Amino acid sequence: MLFHAYEFIFLFLPISLAVFYFLIGKRTRAAMAWLILCSLFFYGWWNPAYLPLILGSCFINYLFGRKLQQDPSRLILTLGIGFNIALLGYFKYAVFVSGVLADVTALNWRIEDIVLPLGISFFTIQQIAYLVDAKEKRTAEHGWLEYLLFVTFFPQLIAGPIDAQSEMLPQFYRRNIRFKKINLAIGVTIFVLGFVKKVFIAESFADYASPMFNAASDGAVITFLEAWAGAISYTFQLYFDFSGYSDMAIGIARMFSIRLPINFDAPFRATSIIEFWKRWHMTLTRFINMYLFNPLALRASRARSVVKKSLNPGNDTGAFLSILAVPTLFSMFIAGIWHGAGWTFLVFGLLHGAYLVINHGWRLFTHKAAWKKSIPLPLALATAWTLTFLCVVLSFVFFRAANIDAAWNVILGLIGADGRVVLTYSYLKILPVFEALFSSVTASDVALPYFAGREQIMLIAAGLMIVWLAPSAQSWMARYYLAPKHGKRARWVKKWYHWRPSVFWALVSICGLCVGLLSALQPTEFLYFQF
């Protein structure tokens, strides 16, 4: 069952809400139990055979967590994390690893295909974080019912956002949850926003991105224009799809008076890779920093302090490598393979690890450079944004490609290798000044099969305008907190685009819902089967 499916919108969600609202004012525990039943039904809709898997995983992790709260032993934590990694490793990586072993050895160790349980990466990483917090005495008060709802809550179960127990368990444990019309209004609005992003905008880009990547997998020669247009189209498809799905999850949860963390904050406005990861899949970035990078960097710092070596990465190359570079590369390596079992995901993670190391090194070792002050700020920002965006587009080629060969095929197109810079005569006529300049470039009177020309260019331009100029969900809802935790209320300035419960915005939401429902009639891609 998908959030944008008709059976979800018109049957599952209304029934779930109606019973929840009936129970919440009278029996809070019964309302929580109802949400758990709804969540298990939602998950079992895909494959009921995997219900014992998620229930067993929850029960065992709950026992580990209880034990860690009583006895914060490193051994118990290791056993708990090992259990989760073993579970994830078997279902997600066993086929890939056995294939690699079969290729590099003469033994036939290849395992038959295993159907990947949906969302296993999300609920596994969530539970690993819970065990670490339990050992460090950071878990909020909870029982079995709260924990089970924390893991299985259906809005975030399939594709996140990745919840922290400190954010969610207190919401489930409180006794004063009540139906509030404003929560329903906010939830419906955010859901409709995500709905439009997913089924209308993202699928528009998919129509242009998928044919190019499928052709690259089949061995077709991908030309320069096809590669760039297809790669940028997929970049926008992934953003609007994933951002839209996260918005739908946040909106659905808010209908139940539950706040999920924000997962995207205009990432394509970033002017560095560091800033990009602060804005893209923010809950994953939080997990990487808290549970991977920080412990590794702290361990390296302690090791260097014992031998009285410098701890300043900006003045010492050894400190930079051990405290910053190595933990970053390892963390992003884990993040890469977490996304999927395949060489392409490994390259994706290491590529972003290299990006981050270079970015950190640039900031640390050039912060006193005099030439930086001579560059006009608009030019510096434009250059930084362009470089960041191109790096992201390049990395997403590996994220989308079926295999390394297909990714390399697209990369060759991006750099125009082997005579792949092919322009049609029609484009040369539009820009006749370029006809002489590109005299060595192959020209054809046959349209490029995986480049839609003006249509695709206009769609990409529209996508750029949206990600540059349109307010983010949290900016749009500036008057109403979306995240579970927030600091001191900032001075709120009323702007024309700020949402408020009014007839106007209700009509906007209705129009958006209609657009989404009409778009949902067409088949759509589901991008999270590998998670």
Active-site option among 281, 339, 352, 360 = 339
Evaluate whether 343 touches 407 at the Cβ level (below 8 Å). no
- Axis-axis angle for helices 28-44, 13-24 (nearest 10): 160
**Residue 470: what are its φ and ψ, rounded to 5°?**
-70, 140
Separation between Cα atoms, residue 197 and residue 527, nearest integer Å: 14
The Cα-based distances of 409 to 207, 227, 294, 403 in angstroms read 20, 9, 37, 10
Q: Which residue(s) pair with 443 in the sheet?
A: 423
- The residue assigned the tokens 């030309």 is 223
The amino acid that residue 46 corresponds to is W
**Residue 424: what are its φ and ψ, rounded to 5°?**
-80, 155
Pure H helices in 366-444: 377-400, 404-414, 425-430, 433-437
Please give the angle made by the CA atoms of 87, 85 and 147, to the nearest 5 degrees. Answer: 75
- The token pair at 92 is 């997600």
Evaluate whether 233 touches 208 at the Cβ level (below 8 Å). yes
Question: 350 by DSSP, 3-state: which?
Answer: helix
Evaluate whether 450 touches 230 at the Cβ level (below 8 Å). yes
- Element (H or E) spanning 423, and its range? strand 422-424
Question: Greatest CA span in the chain, whole angstroms?
Answer: 79
Separation between Cα atoms, residue 8 and residue 128, nearest integer Å: 30
- Element (H or E) spanning 443, and its range? strand 442-444
Q: What is the DSSP letter of 373?
A: G
Residue 135's Cβ-side half-sphere holds a number of Cα atoms within 13 Å equal to 18
The amino acid that residue 516 corresponds to is G
Catalytic site residue 339? yes
Output b/e per residue, 300-314; b: 16+ Cβ within 10 A.
bbeebeeeeeeeebe
Question: 495 by DSSP, 3-state: which?
Answer: coil
Separation between Cα atoms, residue 355 and residue 342, nearest integer Å: 20
Separation between Cα atoms, residue 28 and residue 511, nearest integer Å: 35
Catalytic residue numbers, as ranges: 339
